Every structure is written in C-alpha cells, then in structure tokens.
Amino acid sequence: MSDEHTRAGTNATRSGSTPSGPARSRQAPADFVQPARRIAYEVIAAVRESDAYANLLLPTRIQRAALTTADAALATELTYGTLRMQGFYDRVIALAANRAVTAIDPAILDVLRLGAHQLLATRVATHAAVNESVSLAKQVGSRSATGFTNGVLRTISRSSAEEWRERVLERAVNVDDRLAAEYSHPAWIVRAFRQSLKAEGHENELADLLAADNMAAKVNMVALPGLATDADRERLGLADEFSPVGFVLDSGDPYHLVTATDGRVRVQDEGSQIAALALSRARPIVAGERWLDLCAGPGGKAALLAAEARAGGAELVANELVPARATLVRTALAALPESVPVWEVDGTTIGQTHPGEFDRILLDAPCTGLGALRRRPEARWRKQPKDVADLAGLQSGLIDAALDALKPGGILAYVTCSPHTAETRAIVALAVRKAGGAVTALDTAAVVQSFSAANLDLPADSGSVQLWPHRHGTDAMFITLLQRAL
C-alpha cells in the first residue's frame, strides 16, 4: 500500500471534514455499516487472525470495493490508526469495560479498538462512531455483544482523549511501561530502542522516536541514476534532504508514476536508498567489478545498485532464496536495459560456493523490521523478543559467508531495517572478532556524509550509521561497511 493513502487518511480526519461513503438512507437496515469502516474492520481482523499484512491487504480491499477517494482515505486512517495505537486503546477499553481485554471476544475487541480510535483520535461524530460500531458488533458477535459494545463505547465517549491518557498513565508501573502505554509500543521494544539510542548518546530522544513511529511515513521515491530522465524527475516533487537520487512525492498515485516511467522511478524509503548508496559510493567504481546483493528481495535496493553498477561499468548479481521474492526481484530489475542475473541459493553457503569472488556485497539481512513500524504498525504487536534471538544465528551465518565471498580489499555493507543492538552492533562485532585481522570497519559515517545532500548529524569516525525516523525522517536503517584485508 502506498504511504500516500496513509497520509491522505490522516489529513482527512484532522482537517475537520469527515470522509464518508454513500449517504445512509432512511431505509437502510439497522445494522448498516459504512463500507470504509467495514473494510477497516476486515483488515484489522485479518491481521489478528491470519497474520495478514495491512499494507498488502488494504489496497486490495479498497480497490475491490471501488471506494471513493474520501472513503479510501477514511478506511486507511481507521486501519492504520487503530493498528498503531492498539496498545493504548486496549488499556482504555480495559478501564471502560472493567475487565481485561483478554476476557473480551477477539472479534468484539477489534470492533472496540476501531470505535475507540474514532472517538479519541479523529473528528468522526460520536453518534456515527458508536452506532456503526454497534451495528458491526451485531454482524460479527452475539446479541449480548451489541449491548456490551454500546456500553463500553458510550463510556469512552464521555471523557476526552486527554482524560483517558491521564487515567492510563497513572496506572503505569514504571517509566518504560508509561512510555509503552502512551506511545502504544510493547515494553520490550521501548527497552530495545532505549538501548539503541543510548549507544549513540541520545537516550533522551526516546519519546521522540516512539512518537515518530506513530506518524504516517512520507511517500518517498527514487530516480534510478543513469536511467531516469529529467522529465521523470520533474514529476517527483521536492528532492530528498539526504539521498542524492530521492524525492518526496507531494501528490498523485506513486504506482502510476512507476508504471508511466517503466520503473525508472519507484517507491523507496530514503533510508533504503542511503544504505545501497553507502556500498556503491564507498569508493570509486572500477570497471569490471562484480557486485552481489545477497538477500535481494523484494528488489528495491538491487535495482538502485544495478543502476549504480551499470553507470560505473560494474556488474551486479542478485540472490534471493525464496522463489516468490526472487520473482519480485526480477520484476524490480526489469527497468534495467541489461539482464541482471538472479540466483536462488542459500546465502549462508555463498562463501563456500563463490569464495573471494565479489568486490562489493550488500547484505540486507533478514531482521525483525522494528525500524519500519511507521509503515507496518502491526509488526510491533506481532514480533516478540524471541524473534531477535532466533534471527541472530541466521544473521551471523550470512555475514560470515558474505565476508568469505569478498575479494581481498572487497567491501561488505551489512544493513538491517532494525535498530535493535542484538541485530546490529552485536552481529557486526562478532563477525569482526571471528575474522581476526582479516576484516576492518570503514568509517561508514564519513562515506554516507560524502554523498549526502545535507548534514546527517552522525557521530564522527563511526564504523556504523544508525538512521532514525525522528532525526532523519527515514526508516531506522542500520549500516556498517566492512573491508576485507588485501
């Protein structure tokens, strides 16, 4: 789903207008639910029931229902707003219902979350939020559930959002629990973010980071260097603050632009662009170099790397183990005039099958994705601390294999879309320690700053770069450049 939809939804509800679909006639059935609310509920329920991804499912449901622009904006705001603030709303609901949310039927709890969001965070009229929530409860729950839903939402509606915030926060058991409640993040993620910020001396910015996670991300585009034309770039709006090839889209359908330009421009977060460019611009490209994108799916960074390699006379190989994701990589690379090979092999074996073969390797490692909670808000409720530990073995195996596949003097960019130190600094430190003196860290901050259009305010002489939503307006990408000894 495009971030344009998210932004449109946010603006619609804050502007004072209430997007609506077809007018409800006097003859409408008593359990009528406006299409936008119905779709928002269905997506929220699918996220809970089947681990669906809202950013993939919501656009499909909106298109299938042929919603108006206003209704699409409302459905998007209701879906993403409810998912982002689910933790806070659960605490409000528990107080209003005088029972734990675990004691509430899951389908009705989703209805209550959706209703709470309308009452506490939008300008939707109280009667509309309550009445249609009750109608929705009638459709998905028992007869008794409708009275319960009505009672809980009426109770919530009698107090302001600020009053509910004060009641929730006064019940917090410690500082991290208070932040978890206010900014709707699991406490373990709050603690992880605190540790990551502390490593840079910015622990005092924790609340700003959590707040940024609850803001809709901008629609960011990349113009592939050497392929995008001046006419392509003129369609894209303002240039990115940091990426020399990125743009912020002000209006319009981003995917229409992708199609209209045959993929020469595409949707890509500015942080992802910086991660790819850190490798391609770490030093001048020598014609004939061989590059590898080791975990290339879904292909955004691979396309940018391929364009950079082509401009410098190098060649890129992309690898993606999962066949469906490999197909996405091939689609992303279709904009390139020349064919780019796409392998489907286990990345942890690349050092054995292709030892010392590549001049540059990008390892965008599988991770928890905690750096992209603005775009995938449901991930904060889906991930668990155990996921970090489970991924560590794979991340270590991949970085070791990638280092073995480097030529002497070759450069590896280790990248994650997570700021969790167990997925970032700890993985890199272990790999460097195991490699002995064969691997050294480059000044990644200096490399990134060398091509950035503006000052990123990064620590000097830093072997790694951690981008942040609240500081840089990007996903929380972690980037480290490592070089194999000659």
Residues that are catalytic: 417
Cβ atoms of residues 480 and 413 within 8 Å: yes
Q: Which among 253, 366, 361 has a CA at the least distance from the CA of 317?
A: 361
User: How far is residue 368's CA from residue 54's CA, in Å, rounded to a whole number?
Assistant: 17
Is the peptide bond between 298 and the residue preceding it cis, with omega within 30 degrees of 0? yes
Burial 76-86 (b: 16+ CB within 10 A, else e): bbbbbbbbbbb
Specify the amino acid at residue 351.
G
Q: Which two tokens stand for residue 292?
A: 């590898």
Element (H, E) at 363: strand 358-364
User: How far is residue 100's CA from residue 230's CA, in Å, rounded to a whole number?
Assistant: 58
User: How far is residue 343's CA from residue 466's CA, in Å, rounded to a whole number?
Assistant: 29
Cβ atoms of residues 183 and 373 within 8 Å: no
Is 59 annotated to bind ligand? no
Q: Where are the alpha helices (DSSP H) in 206-269?
A: 206-213, 230-234, 254-260
Q: Which two tokens stand for residue 142?
A: 């028992």
Is 320 annotated to bind ligand? yes
Is 301 annotated to bind ligand? yes
Is 299 annotated to bind ligand? yes
Other Cβ atoms within 10 Å of 71 Cβ, number: 22
| Nearby residues of 220 by Cβ (< 8 Å), 6 or more positions away | 3, 240, 246, 247, 248, 249, 267, 268, 269, 270
Other Cβ atoms within 10 Å of 168 Cβ, number: 20
User: How far is residue 178's CA from residue 91's CA, in Å, rounded to a whole number?
Assistant: 12
Is 367 annotated to bind ligand? no
Is 445 annotated to bind ligand? no
Q: Where are the alpha helices (DSSP H) in 173-205?
A: 175-183, 187-198
Binding site for S-adenosyl-L-methionine, by residue number, is: 295-301, 320, 346, 364
Binding site per annotation, positions: 295-301, 320, 346, 364
